[in-house]
Structure 1
Amino acid sequence: MSGNNTMNYDLTGKVPLLAKFGFSMLPLAWVTQTMVVTWQMFYFTTFVKMSVMMVTLMLTVGKVVGAFATPFWGYLSDRLYRTAFGRKFGRRRAVLLLCIPLNFIFYMGLWIMGMPTWFYFLVNILYWAAWAGVTTVQYALPAEMTENTTQRAQIVGINQIAGAIGGTSLSMLNIWLFTLWGKDNWTAYFYIALLWGIVGTIALFIGFLTVQERPYDASTDVASSDSSNGEASGLKRFVGVFWNFLSAMRVKSYRVYLGMYICEQTFRAIRGTINTYFVMFVLLLDPQTVSLGTGVGFIFGMAFVAMWIWLTAKLDGMRTFRLGGYACILAFACMLGLGIFHASVSTGVRATLFVVFLILMNFGISGVVNATQFVFTLVPDVDEIVTAKRREGQYAGINSTLDVIFTALETLLIGAVLSWTGFVEGATTQPPATVDWIMILYTVVPVVLVILGNIVSRLLKMTSANHKKVLAEVTRLRNGGDMKDVDADTKKVVEELSGFKYEECWGHNNVIDATNKG
């Protein structure tokens, strides 16, 4: 079984520059997602004239349906080497090839004016379902491309930097585009969305052409573990999607990581969703300030990433996560103070302070995100010691699902709070109760989530030394080593990180196949 993407390469050496460049195109393509997150709710409430509750319901339904699609993308991607299509293009690249055109079509449908409500609901659902395939591949590749932790740290850094470049390009250029096309008509938002849709699609296609993934071998032939004889009926595979989703939670390191991840993703999602409203209705600044502040914050965020990459390698991801969290807490506290005392500060000073505090916030966020993404690349190594298979797609799918679910709940909660406090669609000012709750959602809620995430991070014992022991044991077993020859210290580490008895690891369990008796 071979194909043009199954050549051998050194998993412990340096990842080729072309492959790193190809991976950087995937987060760069988030220019489309940034446009959706930043402006979609504002666009629909202001120009389409939907009620805020209808918009939040639409976004919630779309994200939740998309969340249910992600386990299928992860399950499918892990097993594509069993198909001619996967052997030709690669199990990750094949997913990109499917999703690239679908993502563009459905993304642009979100910005068409004058369509019935059902059309927006349908297109929103299809957009999130297609985008889930892209995010599944993006999540999977850092752990897939190399077993060298230094290289993984660099790839995680590339993921952040490329995403920051995409966000900066969108935010900074949007200032000029709003000036050119105006900010008070829907066509400006449509043309801006079209521009970034084209850029994002080109980036994804370049990524498809150049990214590198793990070659076919026994560890990547995940389908062979779906049953005792390597074959499974369609019904069993359908059930297997959900079984694998749930059984992956049995890996202890992943459960603890999820606590960190959910806190990180949720507080960033809340901040992103409410950011425009906070700037316009609490600080009483204009839309250009949203783009300017976001752009400047991203520029500094890129510079911070290099420091966080080095610090993560020195301190391990958990301590980096906590340091970034402390900076976030300080930044949100400053934003709360600015929101409370904004009336006593001139507009110019207010805008300047907002940008300064946003830079501090991006310093903290870049650390939290770097640590979370780095720790995620270590989870498939623990999963391999449990299952003897490489299931990066499985965990990427779970992450995408939980991300969408919690983002959808966050969006629904924000919509409910705004509606409850008397939010007025299309207005330039809002009632005092709405303004107060926007400020609380933007500052107080994220602080609570950051503190919770810091507490959870102390439960994960994934130190560099422990991770190296796991990798060494995986390599020994891959090369035909006997499980009976494990040393006591390695056995203890494996059991601590996996949550399984050592004798139940290396496929002697039903984590992949529910009928396996071990």
Structure 2
Amino acid sequence: MKNTRWVYTPKKINVKRGVAYGLTDLMGGGWNNIVSGVIFAYLTLSVGLNPAMAGAITGIARIFDAIFSLVFGTVTDGFYKTRLGKKYGRRHFWMLVGLIGFAVSFLAFWVPATAIFGPGHDFFYYLVVYTLTEIFVGMILIPWETLPTEMTSDYTKRTILSGSRMFISATGTSLVFFILAILQSLPSAQAKKNAYLFAGILWTILFVAAIFISYRMTWERPLTQKFLNELNSRPKLTVGQYIKKTLHDYGQTFTNSAFRKHLAIYIFSFTGKDFYATLLPTFIIVCIGMASNIPWVLNAFAVFGILSTLLAAKLMITHGPRFLYSVSYIGIIIALIAYGLTYFLHIKNPMTILIIITIVYQLSRGILEFVPWNVFPFIPDVDYIMTRDDKAGTYAAVMTFFRKSTGALATWLAGILLSELGYVSTATTQAAGVTDRIAWLFMIAPMVLIFIALAVSWGFKLNRKTHDVLQKETKRLENGGSKKDVTPEAKVVAEELTGHPYEKLWPKETYEELETEHSKK
């Protein structure tokens, strides 16, 4: 089958092409920080929603999105069978649909609900629009993340495509807060009142332009007859069989000891980060009593996360993930304590101190975000000696599902706790003791979560050395080596990483083979 459309026309992959591909993560990084750091503040401080209701909006929407993300990848995988998929690309078609939907819903989110429906409809308006935005973002990011695999099979070229994401994502994070900080700093009262709307317009233009460039400068694997035969030869499962296999694969990931620890570290640390981002504007504006633009000025120091990421890339090789986890989490705990002391010691004119504390936090946050997804590629290798199956996609889906779910619950819970502590978003002055309680919540909640991640990381054994030992043992078994000839070191490493006796590793038959035999009977 010959298709000469641009979406099926490969081009030379170089740094310029890598940047073009990575531009979508300008929205990816920016959007994640808008969700965790801006939306709650906008709904409480600007719209005036009760904090519990504001948290419920992001919580409910992200749970819907988490479920949507679990099935949408499969939708794009099979979309090549449709006329639209063949003509516009099974991945690019959905990127374009998501882009159009995102441009409308994201912009609509910053338009006051009262301007459209009048008073009394705020909660349902923002819930519906925000949920739609999350779904459209998923439509863009899920197919976009498959494009390096579609565009080339060369490891180095894929690295060029994926490598730009890290820095573009961090740039998106800084731009989001920088734009809002400038708009909140304008002297005009009218400009300050509409700062979120103007920021929303600028963010929409910026993100849509970036995504469109990625959309037009990337391509998919041509639908040759050979490739179509390969796609069509894959096992065809009924809905029941697909659900059964998916649930089995998801459940089996939790029998992997290294993954259980990795997931716990990832979830607790990122959820702690979510609590920080959600509560920081309230802490700075309500507790410290600073201007409304200051939280966004401080968050713009996220650019320092790029510097720590560059350093972490080297330390990952020389010192391993456990060292980096300790450096990151201890740095964040120190920053949180320093924020609390700034409030409780009633330091006057604390801006300089807050900047220093924030730089420490952002340097630590950069490492926090860098390490888990750099450890992740080694996790499926642990599973492989357990199951002899390739389930990298399954592990990624489980991580994404739990990340989105816990991130949603963090914002929701933060809103409920603020409400229970007596915080009233529409009040110019809070009741006695409320600011103290908010300050304790801001300091303790993320600190507890980060400390749990730190404690779990102390027992994390997967690193470059243990991975090399595991890989050598796997290769030996693949080449027909006997399990009886395992070395003491390989046996200990395999058992520590998997959490299973060596005798139960490297099964004679995979789950898929057993299912095939069962279906024949």
Range of TM-score over shorter length? 0.7 to 0.9
What residue identity is the alignment partner of 2:267? I
How far is the alpha carbon of 1:259 from its aligned partner? 0.7
Q: Which residue of 1 aligns with 2:66?
A: 67
How far is the alpha carbon of 1:433 from its aligned partner? 3.3
**How far apart, in 2, do the equivalents of 1:294 and 1:474 lie?**
45
**How far apart, in 1, do the equivalents of 2:98 and 2:237 lie?**
26
**How far apart, in 1, do the equivalents of 2:458 and 2:86 lie?**
41
In structure 2, do the counterparts of structure 1 residues 76 and 488 end up closer, same or farther at CA, with 3 Å as the change threshold?
Answer: farther
Q: Which residue of 2 aligns with 1:290?
A: 295
What residue identity is the alignment partner of 2:332? C
Q: Which residue of 2 aligns with 1:325?
A: 329
What residue identity is the alignment partner of 1:305? T
Q: Which residue of 2 aligns with 1:257?
A: 262
Tell me whether 138-147 or 305-314 shows the greater mean CA deviation.
138-147
What residue identity is the alignment partner of 2:434? T
What residue identity is the alignment partner of 1:279? I
Secondary structure (helix, strand or coil) at the match of 1:504 reads coil
In structure 2, do the counterparts of structure 1 residues 19 and 473 end up closer, same or farther at CA, with 3 Å as the change threshold?
Answer: farther
**How far apart, in 1, do the equivalents of 2:70 and 2:367 lie?**
28
Q: What are the within-5 Å matches in structure 2 for residues 295-444 of structure 1?
A: 295=300, 297-341=301-345, 343=346, 345-347=347-349, 350-383=350-383, 391-444=391-444
In structure 2, do the counterparts of structure 1 residues 433 and 75 end up closer, same or farther at CA, with 3 Å as the change threshold?
Answer: farther
What residue identity is the alignment partner of 1:70? S
1:222–1:390 CA contact under 8 A, matched in 2? no
How far is the alpha carbon of 1:351 from its aligned partner? 0.9
Q: Which residue of 1 aligns with 2:212?
A: 205
How far is the alpha carbon of 1:238 from its aligned partner? 4.5
How far is the alpha carbon of 1:53 from its aligned partner? 2.4
Secondary structure (helix, strand or coil) at the match of 2:397 reads helix
**How far apart, in 1, do the equivalents of 2:422 and 2:144 lie?**
39
Q: Which residue of 2 aligns with 1:195?
A: 202
How far is the alpha carbon of 1:43 from its aligned partner? 2.4
Question: Are positions 1:124 and 2:127 aligned together?
Answer: no
How far is the alpha carbon of 1:397 from its aligned partner? 2.8
In structure 2, do the counterparts of structure 1 residues 397 and 275 end up closer, same or farther at CA, with 3 Å as the change threshold?
Answer: same
How far is the alpha carbon of 1:258 from its aligned partner? 0.3
**Aligned partner (choices 165, 168, 185) of residue 174 of structure 2:** 168
**Identical aligned residues as a percent:** 21
In structure 2, do the counterparts of structure 1 residues 445 and 118 end up closer, same or farther at CA, with 3 Å as the change threshold?
Answer: closer
Q: Which residue of 1 aligns with 2:510?
A: 508
Tell me whether 268-277 or 63-72 shows the greater mean CA deviation.
63-72
Tell me whether 169-178 or 382-391 shows the greater mean CA deviation.
382-391
Question: Are positions 1:458 and 2:424 aligned together?
Answer: no
**How far apart, in 2, do the equivalents of 1:215 and 1:392 lie?**
24
How far is the alpha carbon of 1:183 from its aligned partner? 7.0
In structure 2, do the counterparts of structure 1 residues 289 and 185 end up closer, same or farther at CA, with 3 Å as the change threshold?
Answer: closer
What residue identity is the alignment partner of 1:25? L
In structure 2, do the counterparts of structure 1 residues 179 and 407 end up closer, same or farther at CA, with 3 Å as the change threshold?
Answer: same
In structure 2, do the counterparts of structure 1 residues 151 and 466 end up closer, same or farther at CA, with 3 Å as the change threshold?
Answer: farther
In structure 2, do the counterparts of structure 1 residues 79 and 470 end up closer, same or farther at CA, with 3 Å as the change threshold?
Answer: farther
For the aligned residues, what is the CA RMSD? 4.2
In structure 2, do the counterparts of structure 1 residues 41 and 472 end up closer, same or farther at CA, with 3 Å as the change threshold?
Answer: same
Tell me whether 33-42 or 409-418 shows the greater mean CA deviation.
33-42
1:278–1:438 CA contact under 8 A, matched in 2? yes
2:67–2:401 CA contact under 8 A, matched in 1? yes
1:26–1:204 CA contact under 8 A, matched in 2? yes
What residue identity is the alignment partner of 1:375? V
How far is the alpha carbon of 1:260 from its aligned partner? 0.9
Tell me whether 279-288 or 425-434 shows the greater mean CA deviation.
425-434
What residue identity is the alignment partner of 1:28? L
Q: Which residue of 2 aligns with 1:12?
A: none
In structure 2, do the counterparts of structure 1 residues 209 and 482 end up closer, same or farther at CA, with 3 Å as the change threshold?
Answer: farther
**How far apart, in 1, do the equivalents of 2:145 and 2:458 lie?**
23
**How far apart, in 1, do the equivalents of 2:432 and 2:250 lie?**
44
In structure 2, do the counterparts of structure 1 residues 32 and 282 end up closer, same or farther at CA, with 3 Å as the change threshold?
Answer: same
**How far apart, in 1, do the equivalents of 2:395 and 2:293 lie?**
38
Q: Which residue of 2 aligns with 1:488?
A: 486
Q: Which residue of 2 aligns with 1:34?
A: 33
1:19–1:210 CA contact under 8 A, matched in 2? yes
Q: Which residue of 1 aligns with 2:19?
A: 21
**How far apart, in 2, do the equivalents of 1:63 and 1:433 lie?**
32
1:263–1:449 CA contact under 8 A, matched in 2? yes
Q: Which residue of 1 aligns with 2:51?
A: 52
**How far apart, in 2, do the equivalents of 1:110 and 1:22 lie?**
27
Secondary structure (helix, strand or coil) at the match of 1:112 reads coil
**How far apart, in 2, do the equivalents of 1:79 and 1:511 lie?**
23
How far is the alpha carbon of 1:291 from its aligned partner? 1.7
Q: Which residue of 2 aligns with 1:232?
A: 237
Q: Which residue of 1 aligns with 2:95?
A: 96
In structure 2, do the counterparts of structure 1 residues 133 and 396 end up closer, same or farther at CA, with 3 Å as the change threshold?
Answer: farther
What are the superposed Cα offsets for residues 307-344 of structure 1, whole Å, 9 maximum, x if unpaired? 11111122222321222112112211211211211x2x
In structure 2, do the counterparts of structure 1 residues 444 and 45 end up closer, same or farther at CA, with 3 Å as the change threshold?
Answer: closer
**How far apart, in 1, do the equivalents of 2:269 and 2:2 lie?**
40
What residue identity is the alignment partner of 1:398? V
**How far apart, in 2, do the equivalents of 1:465 and 1:135 lie?**
33
**How far apart, in 2, do the equivalents of 1:107 and 1:409 lie?**
21
Secondary structure (helix, strand or coil) at the match of 2:426 reads coil
Secondary structure (helix, strand or coil) at the match of 2:425 reads coil
In structure 2, do the counterparts of structure 1 residues 8 and 120 end up closer, same or farther at CA, with 3 Å as the change threshold?
Answer: closer
**How far apart, in 2, do the equivalents of 1:253 and 1:80 lie?**
35
1:417–1:437 CA contact under 8 A, matched in 2? no
In structure 2, do the counterparts of structure 1 residues 458 and 434 end up closer, same or farther at CA, with 3 Å as the change threshold?
Answer: same
How far is the alpha carbon of 1:368 from its aligned partner? 1.7
Secondary structure (helix, strand or coil) at the match of 2:251 reads helix
Tell me whether 495-504 or 324-333 shows the greater mean CA deviation.
495-504
How far is the alpha carbon of 1:407 from its aligned partner? 1.7
What are the superposed Cα offsets for residues 257-297 of structure 1, whole Å, 9 maximum, x if unpaired? 101110111011000101100111122111221121111x2
**How far apart, in 2, do the equivalents of 1:22 and 1:338 lie?**
43
**How far apart, in 2, do the equivalents of 1:453 and 1:147 lie?**
35
1:248–1:511 CA contact under 8 A, matched in 2? no
Structure 2 length as normaliser, TM-score?
A: 0.80
2:421–2:438 CA contact under 8 A, matched in 1? no
In structure 2, do the counterparts of structure 1 residues 368 and 188 end up closer, same or farther at CA, with 3 Å as the change threshold?
Answer: closer
Secondary structure (helix, strand or coil) at the match of 1:503 reads coil
How far is the alpha carbon of 1:159 from its aligned partner? 3.6
Structure 1 length as normaliser, TM-score?
A: 0.81
